[in-house]
Amino acid sequence: MVTKKTLTEAEALEQYRVSLDNVEIQPEIATTMAEFGYDTTVIAEGKTLLTQTRQAYDLNKSEDDETTEAYSEFAALKSNLEEIYKMHRKKAKIIFRNDSKTLDKLAVSGSIPQAYINWLETVKKFYSVASRDADIQTKLLRLKVTADDLSAAGTVIGELEAARAEYLREKGESQDATKAKDEAFAKMDDWMSEFYAVAKIALEDKPQLLESLGKFVRS
């Protein structure tokens, strides 16, 4: 029996396709299998299942690719913002090293949070406060952090949030596609399992024909 335990999904799809094609093309196999209940109508049912499984597989692959692409974009934006923020934060800590109140306002007193949400909130607070405070902006200019730099960072934050939302959407769609694909394979595997079991009986005395259905027969 062909199962996903021994074959990859792509290999199983090809195995099933060859089996269902050859059971119709080879006259002796077709006649013998029809006698055991696998006539053209039943084989057509199997082919319909195979088409559905193939479509579910292809959709899942497509959704996985889109998820990977969305994550790559999100990760690139996050990495870019991390570098921008680290440099601005470093400069702010130097400029306001004797001004604990401002350091607290900018949320740069402690260490940088590791968890994404906490990190993003810390970054957003820094640029939100700096962008609204003219005095802070004036002092940041000493180390070449301009109002345009702050505004540009705010734009990146918006792009990052949009990219994360897109990634999470694609991830959800990919998970749904995986579930649908697994369900399709479960039906296909079950159908083909019985098909091969019957073929093994029907073609017991004709091992060469059984092998044309993809069943390896030990000599």
d(CA 197, CA 215): 10
Q: Tens-of-pLDDT digits for all 219 residues of the chain?
A: 344 457 899 999 999 999 999 999 999 999 999 999 999 999 999 999 999 999 999 999 999 999 999 999 999 999 999 999 999 999 999 999 999 999 999 999 989 999 999 999 999 999 999 999 999 999 999 999 999 999 999 999 999 999 999 999 999 999 999 999 999 999 999 999 999 999 999 998 888 888 888 765 554
CA angle 19-20-23, nearest 5°?
Answer: 80
Domain boundaries, the chain: 9-212
DSSP 8-state assignment for residue 106: T
On whether the CB atoms of residues 12 and 2 are closer than 8 A, the answer is yes
Nearest to 154 by CA among 136, 132, 139: 132
On whether the CB atoms of residues 103 and 109 are closer than 8 A, the answer is yes
d(CA 120, CA 113): 9
* pLDDT score for 206: 86
Q: Exposed, middle or buried by CB within 10 Å (0-12, 13-18, 19+), for 147?
A: middle
d(CA 182, CA 30): 30
d(CA 37, CA 156): 64
Which amino acid is present at 65? D
Beta carbons within 8 Å of 201's beta carbon, 6+ residues apart: 36
d(CA 105, CA 135): 13
Nearest to 86 by CA among 59, 113, 105, 46: 113
pLDDT in tens, 134-180: 999 999 999 999 999 999 999 999 999 999 999 999 999 999 999 99
Distance from CA of residue 99 to its chain's centroid? 47
Q: Name the token pair of 60.
A: 């899942």
Q: Name the token pair of 44.
A: 């057509």
CA angle 72-73-78, nearest 5°?
Answer: 95
